[in-house]
């Protein structure tokens, strides 16, 4: 989803959330999007016959993409990919075919029957439509659930799919739909990845604690607290959960998607990777001198040409483990040592600011940890946002003597230095 769709998406979020609030707390929708497909019984396909993109017969704009290495009798994973609001399956093909090739998975790309949005999000809810005689309130059927159900059955019959490796993935409206459809069908999907899910839907289907989740949100779209709290809720239900925070708005960078697809493949190979935690006290202690050096460097970096500041940094993204007290997550940020090694001008910017690339990366991690802890409400124990699940699950307090505790205290008394750094755009430069 691009920025052009954000205002509409937010309006939809508020409207659907208001209706959902009239139901039981932290529940899903009135209509349950249950699938009838049963992969272990219906994965009867023994050979994938051809590679490339195929339009699925009998379905409007449904596609299947098969990488060349997936042709043959070897059973491979299947990813069901739900597009974002205002988009379509055909718009996703070019972006995700390269990831499918890289990771060796077959992809099913459904298309929303109501252009640009998944009707399962609105199914069973009052929906206002315009007619010649005025406005009419109707209840949307869930055509998309039936279509996805039938399409999955067809793919399982015609391709060699591993029934133990079926994932559901989506961004924005597709992320919301992935949570709603996925959490209602934990017996179908054993991996669910939701990027920037506007609404943290629950599900009402059978439980399966073996299903693992990957949640991602950007600080520029206000999704940090929701991402972390959603992780808490799912962990309490017994699910392994990985979370990823980005210094971005409501956009789906290919780099973010790549990390998620990599997690899918790695977690299928080693299910334990999702539950491994990180330590919190490896950061340097922040000082006024360090903050001033960081502001100096980032002021210089933002004057770099686009080939460095945009294309270069997006080619050098890394996923950093980030413990926030008792919570753990990760953040996508620019790999500064790699940037300095490739671009002499960046190395010169660092030298002018009296920083090494490694020092800049360490200070930036410490600053991000402080910022995310505050934005998520972990620093204060607050989680009052009505859009956030798990508001009744408290955050564990951060020890004042820990490095994070000391850096949070420094943040409280040095607002001017943090505001000066924020003006450089560091917080919006992933």
Q: What is the dihedral of CA 113, 66, 53, 317, to 10 degrees?
A: 80
Residue 174 has pLDDT above 80, yes or no: yes
Given a contact cutoff of 8 angstroms between Cβ atoms, the answer to whether 199 and 17 are in contact is: yes
What per-residue confidence (pLDDT) applies to 295? 98
The CATH number for 37-122+148-275, chosen from 3.10.580.10, 1.20.1050.10, 3.90.1150.10, 3.40.50.1820, is 3.40.50.1820
What is the C-alpha separation between 384 and 125, in angstroms, rounded? 26
| Structure confidence by residue, pLDDT tens digits, 221-233 | 888 888 998 999 8
Per-residue pLDDT averaged across 343-352, rounded? 98
What per-residue confidence (pLDDT) applies to 226? 86
What per-residue confidence (pLDDT) applies to 29? 37
| Structure confidence by residue, pLDDT tens digits, 52-93 | 999 998 888 999 999 999 999 999 999 999 999 888 898 888
Structure tokens at 226: 């929701």
Would you call 245 helix, strand, or coil by DSSP? strand
User: Confidence class of residue 280 from pLDDT cuts 50, 70 and 90?
Assistant: low
CATH 3.40.50.1820 range(s) for the chain read 37-122+148-275
Percent of the chain with pLDDT over 90: 60
Contacts of 392 (CB under 8 A, 6+ apart): none
This prediction has a pTM of 0.86
What per-residue confidence (pLDDT) applies to 141? 64
| Structure confidence by residue, pLDDT tens digits, 353-402 | 999 999 999 999 999 999 999 988 888 876 655 556 666 788 888 999 99
């Amino acid at each position: 989803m691009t920025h052009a769709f954000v205002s509409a998406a937010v309006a939809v979020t508020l409207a659907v959330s208001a209706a959902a609030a009239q139901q039981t707390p932290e529940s899903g929708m009135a209509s349950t999007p249950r699938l009838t497909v049963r992969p272990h019984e219906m994965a009867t396909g023994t050979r994938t016959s051809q590679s490339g993109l195929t339009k699925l017969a009998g379905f409007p704009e449904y596609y299947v993409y098969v990488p060349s290495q997936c042709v043959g009798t070897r059973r491979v994973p299947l990813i069901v990919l739900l597009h974002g609001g205002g988009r379509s399956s055909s718009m996703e093909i070019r972006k995700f075919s390269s990831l499918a090739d890289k990771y060796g998975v077959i992809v099913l790309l459904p298309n929303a029957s109501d252009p640009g949005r998944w009707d399962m999000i609105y199914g069973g809810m009052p929906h206002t439509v315009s007619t010649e005689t005025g406005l009419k309130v109707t209840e949307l059927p869930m055509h998309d659930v039936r279509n996805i159900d039938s399409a999955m059955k067809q793919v399982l019959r015609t391709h060699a799919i591993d029934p133990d490796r079926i994932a559901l993935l989506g961004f924005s409206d597709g992320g919301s739909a992935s949570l709603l459809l996925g959490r209602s069908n934990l017996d179908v999907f054993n991996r669910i990845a939701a990027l920037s899910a506007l609404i943290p839907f629950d599900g009402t289907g059978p439980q399966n604690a073996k299903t693992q989740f990957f949640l991602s949100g950007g600080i520029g779209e206000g999704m940090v607290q929701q991402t972390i709290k959603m992780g808490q809720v799912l962990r309490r239900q017994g699910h392994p959960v990985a979370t990823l925070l980005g210094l971005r708005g409501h956009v789906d960078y290919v780099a973010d998607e790549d990390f998620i697809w990599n997690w899918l493949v790695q977690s299928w190979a080693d299910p334990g990777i999702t539950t491994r935690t990180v330590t919190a006290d490896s950061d340097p202690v922040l000082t006024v001198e360090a903050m001033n050096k960081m502001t100096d460097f980032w002021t210089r970096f933002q004057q770099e040409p686009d080939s460095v500041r945009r294309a270069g940094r997006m080619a050098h993204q890394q996923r950093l483990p980030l413990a926030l007290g008792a919570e753990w997550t990760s953040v996508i940020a620019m790999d500064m040592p790699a940037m300095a090694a490739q671009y002499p001008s960046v190395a010169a910017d660092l030298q002018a600011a009296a920083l090494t690339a490694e020092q800049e990366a360490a200070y930036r991690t410490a600053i991000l940890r402080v910022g995310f802890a505050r934005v998520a409400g972990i620093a204060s124990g607050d989680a009052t946002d009505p859009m956030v699940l798990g508001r009744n699950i408290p955050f564990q307090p951060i020890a004042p003597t820990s490095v994070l505790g000391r850096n949070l205290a420094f943040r409280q008394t040095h607002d001017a230095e943090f505001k000066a750094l924020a003006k450089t755009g560091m917080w919006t430069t992933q």
